[in-house]
Structure 1
Amino acid sequence: MTTTATSTSSTDLNSVISQAGQSIISGSTKSTLDVDSLVSALVTAKTAGQASTISKKQTKDNTELSAIGQIKSALSALQTALTGLANGSSLSQLTATPSGSGLTVTTQTGATAGNYSIQVQNLATASKISSQAITSSDSIAAGSLNITLGSNSPLTVNVTAGESLSDIAASINSASGNPGVTATVLTAADGQHLVFQSNATGAANTVSVSGTGVNAKLTGGYTTVTTAQDASIKIDGNTVTSASNTITGALTGVTINLSSAAVGTTQTVAIANDTSASTTAINNFVTAYKNFVTTASSLASYDTSTSTAGPLLGDSMLNSITSGLATAISSGVTTGGKTVSLSSIGINLQPDGTLQVDATALQTALTSNSGAVSAVFNTTNGIGVTLNNLVNTYTQASGVIDQRTSALNTDLQNLQDQSTNLQNYQTSLTAQYNAQFTALNTLMAQMQSNTQYLTQLFGGSNSSGTLAANK
């Protein structure tokens, strides 16, 4: 590349020098030099080779940076897809299915597969009490109300004479020491009632009210609207109670949510492997791997019809990544003295290096040969762990790709510095040539003026001149 650029510059420079010579001749024969065009051509000819070399290197570096960015993006996506397969979480997910309505059962870490009989006896309820009716003939005197929730310290609210029930309720609800009680006013046919309800369910959260002054109907004689009680269920005949209708801890890693539709029913809850979650995770891995392979193939390709090479054709880093991943994929996993392959669970290697899932074979493996699936993706040396570790070598902070990217950015900065220096040189050279050719142009003009004077004085080929006429 450098030789071609230098040859072209030399040809251009010779042409410009020839032009300069002709311009000087023209200048001596009553023509004027085109200084700007001449200087521009000379400067370009002298710096074009170096400018072209810098530009080509910048283009190459930027193209390579973009290609490496695509590789890192594809590898990061693959790594994300591998996460659940590497740590086993995608294959250990369970799904819980109740046989009836009113129960919602979810599983978390620690749950185990099995069938459980759940009898729902009652739901957890929140305590609610109502005062006697306050009518227009009842007065509110100054005093205080003490609201107690379970074993909490009572909340004391001072009441001013003449306050309305709405004012009292607002004071209770906004009090900073409110233990978890909401006060409302219910207007009924017999008058207004001050109603208190616990914000939490459970037998331990019973609401009670006492007080002094105010009005006897508000300091005692409350009617129970709803009794506070715990939820009660039986799991395989064993009684379990809970202050809320969300029961956790009764079965390890299992959460049971109750609703009224479940009360009085006995249901079977089947907890089994969630094959849909495993299928999704495996398909996501296969898709991510295919995306990487196709991206790498495109960037390392060569088009014979156009003689165009991909930006990473023959790149040692990319070759190392692709060969490492391909080896891990094709080698299978040895565990317990036995080697299992991806194809044994329905994941098949294709001629182009990608993977393809046989949905039927995978489903059969997940339901009837879960041991093979667990072996292929075991958390010690399984495919997920192996690929994740390999990819991480390249994608981690300060890893191979980051180092390569940093080197290219450093080179681009150096090229930018060279470009800036070249521009400064062009500016300086332009000023120098302008000064020289402007002076030459001035000299040509003076020579032309002297020639005209001498011709007038001594005569020329078509005139005798002033001196000859005065002899």
Structure 2
Amino acid sequence: MSSLYAVGSGLDIPTLVSQLVTADRTPAENRINTQGKAATAQLSALGTIKSAMSNLQSSLSGLSTALTTPAFKPTVASDAGFTASTTSSAAAGSYDIEVISLAKGNKLTSSAFASDELVGSGSLQLSFGDSHLEVTVAADMTLSSLAREINRVAGGKGVTASVITSDTGQHLVLNAVGTGSNGAVTLSSSGNGRLAELSWDGSTGGMTENIAASDAQVRIDGQLRTNTSNTFTDLVEGATITLTKTTVGTTGNLSIAADNSGAKTSMQAFVSVYNATLNALKSASSYNADTKTASALTGDSMVRGLQNQLRSIMGNNNVSDLKALGVSVGKDGTLSFDASSFEKGMAEQPAMAARVLGKDGSIASSLDSLLKSNLDTGTGVLVQRTNSLNKQISKLEKDLDDLDVRMEKNYERYTKQFTAMDTLVAQMQNTSNYLTTQLANLSSSSSKK
């Protein structure tokens, strides 16, 4: 570095060059950084707005679904002998149900075999419902190996086999997988050994029916209904009723009523998210008069337009309908929610909620269109604005890189220029020193004469 210091001029060339480069850099760098800071702030503010509106879109979808799809709640006493659940196709009503019998699958047990006794060779034919299985019985099979083979062939459908051990020996046990008379297990055999004992035709055979197959029976409002399963899916439209115990001579009540709890929760959530969206727009475009500080999007026409459109959709001719649903619109455009008024409105005018905020409701349709026009990944205003800012920031970053390259070249150019100047000054100084010396010598020679 010392070699760059001027010999002839006495200038500190590195420092001077650095100062000149800094003077060249500062205006452009400040301009780029200022633009970058503003663009980054706008991008952050747009991200907040976009997030808020995405949340509003999700909340609106949930609310519209809740208001368009009716919900019902079944009420059943704990000792009624059945449980119930409902779908949106149910209707309010009350039903008295007596559980006469439960559906059961049959169970068959063979006579006793010794633990290592061979069953015989041949085949077993098992039937349940409309299905039939054939199990090959090898000559070396015991009851345990036969049970495993039955389970392998059946694959868990229709029948399961197991072996129990009593005081008299081992017994093959067959359990029907399904319930009701249609799923009862029967079997026959062909072969030698004791295979003939493994039979049951539904009434007689070599096996004992410990539990007979039976259908479920209920009496609903005095009407008898039989079912092969303990679960009734069409006993009451829109309700699934599962029997748990018999209640012969006693009825249990099933009461189905409209359930607005989910819709109420969704409405409360929508109001909160809507207000959060308005606050996000306000915060991004506010101006602090006391500190004279503007926000990232102060005066932005897009933000003002969104604020006005949201307030217009929730205002205008919709105020009275919203109020009937417990939603009030404040002077600043924010919403407030009264749960009691909502429940009252749903009870008195259940169809109005869907008409206003359901999937095809007047407010929901307008609000959904506004949100889609701003959030669509291809054409959304917010998305395009965000993409534009990202491109601007990328260009500013490239401008800084280009500025660095230019300043490096400026540094080299200034250094060469000042070094050349210093060399010239040194040469001139050497010439001056030479001439001064020659003149001094000449003057000395003259004086001696």
- The bucket for the TM-score relative to the shorter chain is 0.7 to 0.9
Residues 371-425 of structure 1 deviation map (CA, whole Å, 9 limit, x = unaligned): 5545543554433333223222222232222222222222223323333322322
Summarize the Cα distance change of 1:157–1:464 in structure 2 as closer, same or farther, 3 Å threshold. farther
Identify the residue that residue 255 of structure 1 maps to in structure 2.
240
1:165 to 143, 153, 171: 143
Q: Does 1:362 align with 2:342?
A: yes
CA contact (8 A) 1:90 1:277 kept: no
Q: Does 1:417 align with 2:413?
A: no
- TM-score, normalised to structure 2, is 0.84
Distance 1:298 1:95 in 2: 42
2:73 to 80, 95, 99: 95
Return the offset for 1:447: 6.3
Distance 1:392 1:214 in 2: 77
1:342 to 305, 317, 322: 322
- Which residues of structure 2 form unaligned runs of 5+? 200-205
Identify the residue that residue 110 of structure 2 maps to in structure 1.
131
Distance 1:165 1:467 in 2: 144
Identify the residue that residue 195 of structure 1 maps to in structure 2.
173
CA contact (8 A) 1:65 1:408 kept: yes
Identify the residue that residue 291 of structure 2 maps to in structure 1.
306
Identify the residue that residue 87 of structure 2 maps to in structure 1.
108
Range 137-146 or range 49-58, more displaced: 137-146
1:266 to 232, 251, 257: 251
Identify the residue that residue 314 of structure 2 maps to in structure 1.
329
Q: Report the 3-state secondary structure (helix = DSSP H, G, I; strand = E; otherwise coil) of the residue aligned with 1:148.
A: strand
Mapping 1:40-51, distance limit 5 Å: 40-51=18-29
Q: Does 1:186 align with 2:168?
A: no
Identify the residue that residue 432 of structure 1 maps to in structure 2.
413
CA contact (8 A) 1:231 1:242 kept: yes
Q: Report the 3-state secondary structure (helix = DSSP H, G, I; strand = E; otherwise coil) of the residue aligned with 2:183.
A: coil
Return the offset for 1:78: 1.5
Return the offset for 1:274: 0.5
Percent identity over paired residues: 32
Return the offset for 1:152: 0.8
Identify the residue that residue 31 of structure 2 maps to in structure 1.
53
Distance 2:119 2:159 in 1: 22
Identify the residue that residue 362 of structure 2 maps to in structure 1.
382
Distance 2:29 2:139 in 1: 90
Distance 2:78 2:401 in 1: 77
Distance 1:263 1:415 in 2: 83
Residues 401-456 of structure 1 deviation map (CA, whole Å, 9 limit, x = unaligned): 222222222222332333332232223333333444454555566667x4798399
Summarize the Cα distance change of 1:436–1:331 in structure 2 as closer, same or farther, 3 Å threshold. same
CA contact (8 A) 1:144 1:214 kept: no
Q: Does 1:145 align with 2:130?
A: no
Q: Does 1:208 align with 2:186?
A: yes
- TM-score, normalised to structure 1, is 0.81
Identify the residue that residue 13 of structure 1 maps to in structure 2.
none
Distance 2:409 2:74 in 1: 80
Distance 1:258 1:178 in 2: 24
Q: Report the 3-state secondary structure (helix = DSSP H, G, I; strand = E; otherwise coil) of the residue aligned with 1:312.
A: coil
CA contact (8 A) 2:219 2:225 kept: yes
Distance 2:445 2:98 in 1: 140
Q: Report the 3-state secondary structure (helix = DSSP H, G, I; strand = E; otherwise coil) of the residue aligned with 2:242.
A: strand
Distance 1:257 1:178 in 2: 23
Distance 1:399 1:65 in 2: 15
Q: How many residues align?
A: 437
Q: Does 1:74 align with 2:52?
A: yes
Q: Does 1:408 align with 2:385?
A: no
Return the offset for 1:282: 1.3
Distance 1:437 1:166 in 2: 104
- Which residues of structure 1 form unaligned runs of 5+? 1-22, 334-338
Identify the residue that residue 281 of structure 1 maps to in structure 2.
266
Q: Which amino acid aligns with 2:368?
A: N
